[in-house]
């Protein structure tokens, strides 16, 4: 096996995979996209200048791959070709709750669902900052933003999450109350 691949795999594979998973919220897609990340990495590995850390570099590639995926997903071409591509023409739930989530506490599930309401940028910031525990500087490097942009995006995304967490909460509360009344 390629030694470069081996090294990257050992060090970062699961991080990159997890990032992509939370971005696209689908295991199969994440598996496909992580391949794409490797392809791009191999293409430009020689050009890696070491200005940033390898990890943030990989995250920045993964983010671009995810953005390209979202862009493609909307295209008409993709939709038509899907009809021809019988291998993937299976009935699919677009956003199933993954196994790992299903076994978690209610609040964690809510957070996962609420992430859907964030924009791609907001999602990326939340995932890198909190799930991957990157610092603001690292996040800024990975996204190619200024630190202040990371901060404001982080602030906004937390606001979105909060808002939707509350609606989930209220819905839940309503259900409990209903049950009480019926009794």
Partner 1 sequence: MRKSEWSDEELVELLKQMPKIKDYRHPRDIYQNLSRKKRKTVSWILPGIAAAAALFLFFILAPKFMDTNHYSINNAKQESTKEAKIAKDNSDASGMANQESQADKYSTLKKAEGQNDYAGKTAVYDDEIKGGVVLTYWVPDNQAQNLVPVSTIVKNTEGKDWLTLYNEHMANLNESEWGLSEFYPLQATLHYDNANETVIVDVPSDHPYRQGTATEQIFLGALKNDISSNSSVKTIKFTTNGEPGIELSNDFYEKLTITDVKKHAYLFYYPNGSDVPFLVPTLESYKDIKAAIDAMKSGIEEYQLQRSLLPNLAIQDVSANDNTLTITFAKDASLEDERLAVWSMEAILLTAKEFGFEKVVVSNPPAANIGPFDLTKEIKVPAAPNLRTIEK
Point out which residues bind partner 1 (CB under 8 A): 1-2, 5-6, 9, 13-14, 17-18, 21-22, 30-32, 34-36, 38-39, 42, 77, 81, 84-85, 98, 100-101, 104, 106-108, 111-112, 126, 130-131, 133, 158, 161-162, 165-166, 169-170, 173
How many Å apart are CA 58 and CA 150, to the nearest integer?
A: 18
Pick 67 or 165: Cβ nearer partner 1: 165
Residue 169 beta carbon to partner 1: minimum distance, rounded to whole angstroms: 5
**Residues 20 and 70: beta-carbon distance below 8 Å:** no
The two tokens of residue 19 are 């990032």
Pick 51 or 176: Cβ nearer partner 1: 176
Residue 95 beta carbon to partner 1: minimum distance, rounded to whole angstroms: 15
Residue 71 beta carbon to partner 1: minimum distance, rounded to whole angstroms: 15
Q: What is the CA radius of gyration of the chain?
A: 19
Pick 111 or 140: Cβ nearer partner 1: 111
Q: How many residues does the chain have?
A: 183
How many Å apart are CA 120 and CA 161, to the nearest integer?
A: 14
Pick 17 or 145: Cβ nearer partner 1: 17
How many Å apart are CA 44 and CA 47, to the nearest integer?
A: 5
Give the count of beta carbons closer than 10 Å to the beta carbon of residue 45: 13
């Amino acid at each position: 096996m390629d030694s470069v691949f081996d090294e990257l795999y050992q060090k970062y594979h699961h991080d990159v995979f997890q990032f992509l998973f939370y971005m696209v919220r689908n295991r199969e897609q994440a598996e496909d996209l992580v391949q794409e990340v490797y392809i791009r990495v191999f293409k430009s590995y020689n050009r890696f200048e070491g200005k940033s850390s390898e990890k943030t570099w990989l995250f920045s590639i993964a983010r671009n791959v995810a953005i390209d995926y979202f862009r493609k997903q909307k295209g008409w071409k993709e939709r038509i070709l899907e009809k021809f591509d019988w291998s993937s023409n299976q009935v699919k739930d677009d956003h199933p709750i993954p196994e790992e989530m299903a076994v978690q506490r209610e609040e964690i599930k809510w957070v996962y669902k609420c992430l859907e309401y964030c924009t791609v940028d907001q999602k990326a910031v939340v995932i890198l900052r909190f799930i991957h525990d990157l610092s603001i500087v690292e996040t800024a490097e990975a996204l190619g933003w200024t630190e202040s942009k990371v901060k404001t995006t982080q602030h906004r995304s937390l606001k979105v999450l909060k808002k939707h967490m509350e609606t989930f909460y209220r819905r839940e509360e309503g259900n409990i109350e209903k049950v009480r009344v019926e009794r």
